[in-house]
Amino acid sequence: MKTLHLLRHAKTIDGLLHGTDHARFLTPRGVGAAKALAEHLTATNFAVDRVFCSTARRARETYELLAPALHGAAVAFRDRLYLVEASDLLEFIHGLPDKAESVLIIGHNPGLHRIAVDLCKGAVDGKAEDLTALKEKFPTGALCSLQFDIAQWRNVEAGSGTLTGFLRPKTLTGE
């Protein structure tokens, strides 16, 4: 059994007023949402074996705010996760280390949204509304959790995952 968590970076400044897209940073609202998510993860004993994060400033800042809740899980920053397309993200997932049973990927839309929807075959009991919400939108700061009945990451394929959760910032912060 493998678990994949996909986290879209928290809310960022709009546009390129402060440099390149890669250098965009979190807004106060994004910082608050990431802190609220970290508190939730801590309270629910969230655990992952590995974290892979885009090198974009907004993704790194999101990771830094969550890091205390990740209990020292090894992190790797990867340029290839910056604005990655869904097909390339699936290739990345196929290359994840099989020793890792639970992995968190922090990245960007539209790739995260597309891969999350593509991988879902359905949702666990009580999560049908989450699946509907996921199909509609993957907002900044949202965390999607998928479970796969596989032993090796290379066996992840379209329609092979079960949605076990889709946590959106507004659920935690009311914003």
CATH code for the domain in which residue 99 is found: 3.40.50.1240
Separation CA 41–CA 60 (nearest Å): 18
| The pair of three-digit structure tokens given for residue 6, joined into one six-digit string | 């996909």
Number of domains the chain contains: 1
Separation CA 62–CA 162 (nearest Å): 25
Domain containing 30 equals 2-173
What is the pLDDT at residue 17? 62
DSSP class per residue in the chain: -EEEEEEEPPPB-STTTTS-GGG--B-HHHHHHHHHHHHHHHHTT---SEEEEESSHHHHHHHHHHGGGGTT-EEEEEGGGTT--HHHHHHHHHTS-TT-SEEEEEE-TTHHHHHHHHHEEEE-TT-HHHHHHHHH---TT-EEEEEE--SSGGG--TT-EEEEEEE-HHHHH--
Q: Are residues 42 and 173 in contact, defined by beta-carbon separation less than 8 angstroms?
A: no
pLDDT in tens, the chain (175 residues): 999 999 999 999 876 666 788 888 899 999 999 999 999 999 999 999 999 999 999 999 999 999 999 999 999 999 999 999 999 999 999 999 999 999 999 999 999 999 999 999 999 998 899 999 999 999 999 999 999 999 999 999 999 999 999 999 988 876 6
User: Whole-prediction pTM value?
Assistant: 0.95
